Chain A
């Protein structure tokens, strides 16, 4: 299982990459493995304003349907439309081609963990 050092993580196993005021969201390798084969990703609409901790997407696997929560607040500026046809990218490349949405940050954030803190969190 991989946990890249350049990302931040939440207790609900989302990752966020912050570059300037743009944040990219996805779910962690641990999350995709626990969910199993992803069969559908419901993406948010572009322009939607989301609060930190708000459910902004839905990931459906063969086992379960799960809400995905926003690590930081902002306005959705881009979504990964490739996931509509190839949701398996979340499984095969959770931190790369499996990204879900990008937001323009508005400030508020959840409590975020570093890679080391997330590793410790998973061990607990």
Chain B
């Protein structure tokens, strides 16, 4: 029996106020003892010597360690609590992954060391590459892209190269549904393409007539996410891909929501030509706060000649990197991939194995539907039916009490949970997108749902002041997001 006082995980540990590094009061960097130089420096080097002392805050090692640990204690991560951030797949990062990447032969490897001294690492990377090809149904894979959006750009660069090789350089239009992740149009723009927005149908899915109306001889690609950001499977996917192919375009799949499909259905079988895979999401590697990520791209035979180099190849009983190929778009990273991220992904796939990989998607979808089922009578559900790996709610029922999505999200912090994704997708007002992932227990899901229901109760009871003030328990209260966006202060300056 859980003590009711501990029903929610709480946010009231010991936390310490902490100034910025430069606000610590030391005059001089007494704690830093750099070794001297052996012998005289050459004039060429002395030309680069500083003329004035560096402005380094004078902190001792323990003060420095405490500074960063204290700041980390103000934060919420997957290892401090439930983190149902929709479309981000914040699943638990198993400890065994960390053991694997800390094996000395893997942890101390250098991207440029001779291939014959890195055969084990190359074999693991090759294996990861082949597995991602099999999981996606798109057998040709590059591990290089360093994040999902990087993968999008690389995928579009390959599509562009393919179209150019066919003499179709006029095809520069990329169709993007209005439910898409913001990175999709951004990647298209960065690739020198023009984005055309497709309005979603009444069920939140791609509208076939809208798609047909925008397909023409200038269409390069459709960029789509399946399941989409409303958590709904694009059930017309076969026809969608056929329409795009008939118009001479390619279908780019955003793999951000692959967690709903892994081991059960394959984007390549649906007709998608090119897919990036967020290994940091689907395959459990630590992410958030800007990295590190991994966005391998898997393609079909038509796009395979354009894959970046170096490519990892298997020559019978050895592995090698191929550094040039006439059709390749070239290298897109300084190495063959972010090895630490890719090896963790390999460990996660290995832990399930071919026979059990489907358990990931099945449990992820089950957990999302469990949350949806427990909340659907108290929160507005914009699109009826079962969801995939994430469920979409809105604040419509709370709005009449003067409570908005932002208030609900902030109150969840008080109750010990990371908020869900808010105000995304843009196709519904006041969106709340909840993705529990497969790694959470029923007890955790229940605690989260209880918290959501408690917020709905407070709302209906008119106890809205607390909701507007939330969060009241954490170290920092509600931050002024508007001011932060209008007047961002990104660098420290002496007053």
Interface residues of A (CB under 8 A from B): 34, 36-37, 39-40, 60, 62-67, 87-88
Contacts and interface: CB of A to CB of B under 8 A. Distances in A.
B265 interface: no
Interface stretch (B254-262, B339-347, B479-487): B479-487
B468 interface: no
B426 A62 contact: no
A60 B484 CA distance: 13
A39 B426 contact: no
Nearest to A62: B481
Given A37-B481, A40-B485, 15 more contacts: A34-B429, A37-B485, A39-B485, A39-B486, A40-B486, A60-B485, A62-B482, A62-B485, A64-B423, A64-B424, A64-B426, A65-B182, A67-B197, A87-B486, A88-B486
Contacts of A87: 486
7 contacts: A36-B423, A37-B481, A37-B482, A39-B486, A66-B426, A67-B197, A87-B486
A43 B182 CA distance: 20
Contacts, number: 24
Interface hub of A37, A63, A64, A66 (most chain B Cβ within 10 A):
A63
A63 B486 contact: no
Contacts of B426: 64, 66
Interface residues of B, number: 11
Nearest to A91: B482
Contacts of A88: 486
Interface string B454-495: 000000000000000000000000000110011000000000
A4 to B, nearest CB: 23
Interface hub of B182, B429, B482 (most chain A Cβ within 10 A):
B482
Interface of B: 182, 197, 422-424, 426, 429, 481-482, 485-486
Contacts of B423: 36, 63-64
A36 B406 CA distance: 11
A65 to B, nearest CB: 7
A40 to B, nearest CB: 7
Interface hub of B423, B424, B426, B429 (most chain A Cβ within 10 A):
B423
A15 to B, nearest CB: 19
Contacts of A67: 197
Contacts of A66: 426
A63 B485 CA distance: 11
A37 B426 CA distance: 16
Contacts of A37: 481-482, 485
A67 B176 CA distance: 14
Interface hub of A34, A62, A88 (most chain B Cβ within 10 A):
A62
Nearest to A60: B485
B197 to A, nearest CB: 8
Contacts of B422: 63
Nearest to A65: B182
A65 B178 CA distance: 12
A39 B424 CA distance: 18
Contacts of A39: 482, 485-486
B341 to A, nearest CB: 28
What are the 7 A-B residue pairs with the smallest beta carbon separation, nearest first? A39-B485, A63-B423, A37-B482, A62-B481, A39-B486, A64-B426, A62-B482
B176 to A, nearest CB: 12
A51 to B, nearest CB: 14
B421 to A, nearest CB: 11
Nearest to B197: A67
Contacts of A60: 485
A64 B178 CA distance: 12
Nearest to B404: A36
B255 to A, nearest CB: 23
B175 to A, nearest CB: 15
A87 B481 CA distance: 15
B178 to A, nearest CB: 10
A18 B482 CA distance: 33
A63 B422 CA distance: 8
B302 to A, nearest CB: 32
Contacts of B197: 67
Nearest to A88: B486
Contacts of B485: 37, 39-40, 60, 62
Interface hub of A36, A39, A40, A65 (most chain B Cβ within 10 A):
A39
A69 to B, nearest CB: 10
A34 B405 CA distance: 12
Contacts of B429: 34
